[in-house]
Structure 1
Amino acid sequence: MKLKALAIALCMASVPFTASAESVVQQAKQENVAQQQHNVKREAGFSQEAQKIRQQRDALLAQRNTLKEQTELLSQSFSTNEAELAKLEQQLQLDSGSLGELFGVVRQTAKELKAEQSYAVTGVDVTKYIPVVDQIVDAKALPSMPQLKGLWQAMESQIVASGELAKVNVPFINGDGEQTTEKALRLGALGIVADQGYLKWDGPRHLATAYQQQPENGPQLSDLAAIAAAGSESIALDPSRGVMLEQLANAPTLEDRLTAGGVVGKIILLLLAIGAGIAIFRGVKLAIINRQIKQQLKNPTQAGNNPLGRILAVYNKEQNRSVEALELRLLEAIVDEQQGLEKGLSMLKLFAALAPMLGLLGTVTGMIETFQVITQFGNGDPKVMAGGISMALVTTVLGLIAAMPLLLAHNVLSTQAENIRLILEKQGISLVAQQAEKNESSQASNRNVLAEQAA
Structure 2
Amino acid sequence: MNCQILPLLVLSTVLACIPVYAQTETEASAADSASSEPPALTLEGLLEAVREGRSADARADESRLQRFRREGAKQQESLAQIRQQRAELETMSAQRETRYEENDAQIGDLEERLKQRMGSLNELFGVLQQVASDAQAQFHVSLSSLDNHDRNDFLVDFAGRMGQANRLPAINEIETLWYEIQREMTASSQIVTFQHPVITRDGQEIEVPVTRVGLFNAVADGTYLQFIPETQRLVEFSRQPPARHLAGPKALAEGDAGIVPFAIDPVRGQLLEILTQAPNLSERVGQGGAIGYAIITLGIGGVLLALTRLLILGRESRVIASQLKNMSNIRDDNAVGRIVWAARENEDTDVEILELRLGEAVLREVPRINRHLPLLKIVAAVAPLMGLLGTVTGMIVTFQAITLFGAGDPRLMAGGISQALMTTVLGLCVAIPMLLLHNIVQGRARAITEILQQRAVALVAERAEAKGRNPAQPIEANA
Same fold (TM over 0.5): yes
Is it true that 1:417 corresponds to 2:439 in the alignment? Answer: no
Superposition pairs of residues 83-102 of structure 1, within 5 angstroms: 84=106, 86-102=108-124
* 1:265 counterpart residue number: 292
Look up the SS of the partner of 2:114 in the other structure: helix
Q: Distance in 2 between matches of 1:94 and 1:372?
A: 69
Contact 1:198 1:219 in 2 (8 A): no
Q: State the Cα deviation string for residues 49-101 of structure 1 (Å, max 9, x = none).
A: xxxxxxxxxxxxxxxxx9xxxx9999999987775554344223113222322
Q: Which residue of 1 aligns with 2:232?
A: 206
Question: By how many angstroms is 1:396 displaced?
Answer: 1.6
Contact in 2 for aligned 1:370/1:385 (Cα 8 Å) = yes
For residue 220 of structure 1, give the secondary structure of its aligned residue in structure 2: helix
- Among the aligned pairs, what percent are the same residue? 34
The answer as to 2:360 corresponding to 1:332 is: yes
CA positional deviation for 1:177: 0.8
Amino acid at match of 1:268: I
* Superposed displacement of residue 210, structure 1: 1.9
- Distance, in Å, in 1 between the alignment partners of 2:444 and 2:251 is 58
Amino acid at match of 1:384: L
Q: Deviations over 1:359-405 (max 9, x none)?
A: 11122122222222222333233333333222222222222221122
Paired residue secondary structure (1:346): helix
Determine the C-alpha separation between the residues in 2 that align with 1:132 and 1:189. 21
Residue 141, structure 1, aligned to residue 164, structure 2: yes
Counterpart Cα distance in 2 of 1:246 and 1:435: 79
The whole-number CA distance in structure 2 between the counterparts of 1:235 and 1:278 is: 43
Question: Unmatched 5+ residue regions in structure 1?
Answer: 1-65, 447-455
Per mean C-alpha deviation after superposition, the further-off stretch among 392-401 and 334-343 is 392-401
In the alignment of these two chains, the number of paired residues is 376
- Residue 338 of structure 1 and its aligned partner are, at CA, apart by 0.3
Matched, 1:294 2:321: yes
1:151 paired to 2:177? yes
Helix, strand or coil: the match of 1:219?
A: helix
Distance 1:405 1:166, change over 3 A: closer
Does the residue aligned with 2:164 lie in a helix, a strand or coil?
Answer: coil
Aligned to 1:283: 310
Equivalent residue for 2:272, pick from 220, 245, 249: 245
- Shift of residue 196 of structure 1? 4.0
Report whether the alignment pairs 1:373 with 2:401.
yes
Cα distance in 2 for partners of 1:150, 1:380 equals: 49
Equivalent residue runs for 1:301-320 within 5 Å? 301-304=328-331, 305-320=333-348
Query: Which secondary structure state, in structure 2, belongs to the residue aligned with residue 271 of structure 1?
Result: helix
SS of the residue corresponding to residue 150 of structure 2 reads coil
Aligned equivalent of 1:359: 387
CA distance in 2, matches of 1:250, 1:400: 26
Match of 1:188 in 2: 214
Q: Which residue of 1 aligns with 2:152?
A: 130
Give the AA of the match of 2:455. Q
Q: Which residue pairs with 1:104 in the alignment? A: 126
Residue 274 of structure 1 pairs with residue 305 of structure 2: no
CA apart distance, 1:325? 3.9
* Aligned residues: CA RMSD: 3.2
Stretch moving more, 312-321 or 335-344: 312-321
Structure 1 residue 290 displacement after superposition? 1.8
More off after superposition, 77-86 vs 345-354: 77-86
Closer, same or farther: CA 442–220 of 1 in aligned 2, 3 Å: closer
Give, in angstroms, the shift of residue 339 of structure 1.
Answer: 0.3
Aligned to 1:162: 188
For 1:291 and 1:225, how far apart are their aligned partners in 2?
A: 54
In 1, Cα distance between equivalents of 2:355 and 2:186: 96
Separation in 2, partners of 1:174, 1:401: 39
Q: Secondary structure at the match of 2:198?
A: strand
User: In the aligned structure 2, how far is the partner of 1:422 from the partner of 1:160?
Assistant: 76
Structure 1 length-normalised TM: 0.73
Q: 1:222 and 1:331 mapped to 2: Cα distance?
A: 70
Q: Which moved more, 1:139-148 or 1:346-355?
A: 139-148
What is the identity, as a one-letter code, of the residue corresponding to 1:218? A
1:182 alignment partner AA:
V
AA aligned opposite 2:225: L
Contact 2:222 2:246 in 1 (8 A): no
Q: Are residues 1:344 and 2:394 paired?
A: no
Q: SS of 1:226's equivalent?
A: coil
Q: Whole-Å Cα distance in 2 between the matches of residues 105 and 160 of structure 1? A: 23
**1:253-287 deviation digits (Å, cap 9, x = unpaired):** 32232222222222222222111111111112212
- Which structure 2 residue ranges, 5 or more long, are not aligned? 1-86, 88-92, 475-479
Alpha-carbon contact 1:107-1:136 (below 8 Å) kept:
yes
Partner SS state of residue 201, structure 1: strand
Whole-Å separation in 2 of the counterparts to 1:217 and 1:208: 18
Note the C-alpha offset of 1:302: 2.9
